[in-house]
Structure 1
């Protein structure tokens, strides 16, 4: 599958889930910050990416990149986790495409590019 095909399929997944037009999704589009993907929505999208592209998410730590859906326990967890680990990291479309190409999760700092 070509890079363009992977990009178009990923953009379609993101578009269907968040309601943004595919033409507005670029390599630099950030999931949480630009598309407002968080909580259960992020979980659903990552599941669909795994299904579509056979991506293994082993090693992916959800809480480094996304907030949990809000309830009392998650708010307490968020407070203590952020206090210990700092602010949320960013994932952009370009990094997701690299993950898809590799077939498994790796931290953005391991991609050789600054996202």
Structure 2
């Protein structure tokens, strides 16, 4: 599962995961890009994402909010998760909070 998910991330986001404990948000994916990734992730790995609350992890597409968030290092975001967490979610087939 790990190799398949790492290949999926590389294909969808253009990022080669080296350290699975690195926070997902550290690669700069946010807004619509993150939303699209999670829609594809849900379909590709048949994940039940009913417990996933996008706004708890990512900023929206509003340019002001995005600029403000980038300026003060994602101020207001409550949660982070690692690539390793995504592997565990894919293995379980269901989103759970880290």
Q: TM-score range by the shorter chain?
A: 0.7 to 0.9
User: Match for residue 30 of structure 1?
Assistant: 23
Unpaired segments ≥5 residues, structure 1: 1-5, 80-85, 109-115
- Aligned counterparts of 1:40 and 1:70: Cα–Cα separation in 2: 10
- CA shift digits 1:50-102 (9 cap, x unpaired): 11210011011101111111257xx4xx99xxxxxx43311111111111111
Partner of 2:38: 46
- TM-score, normalization by structure 2: 0.77
Task: Work out which of the two has the higher radius of gyration on C-alpha atoms and give 1 or 2.
Answer: 1
Structure 2: gaps (5+ residues): 70-75
CA distance in 1, matches of 2:61, 2:48: 23
Change (3 A) 1:49 1:69: same
RMSD: 2.1
The runs of 4+ residues in structure 1 deviating greater than 2 Å are none
- TM (norm. structure 1) is 0.67
Q: Which has the higher relative contact order, 1 or 2, with Cα contacts under 8 A spaced 6 or more apart?
A: 2
Total equivalences in the alignment = 90
Aligned residues of 1:17 and 1:41 also touching (Cα < 8 A): no
2:78 corresponds, among 76, 88, 95, to 88
Q: Is the 8 A contact 1:54 1:103 kept in 2?
A: yes
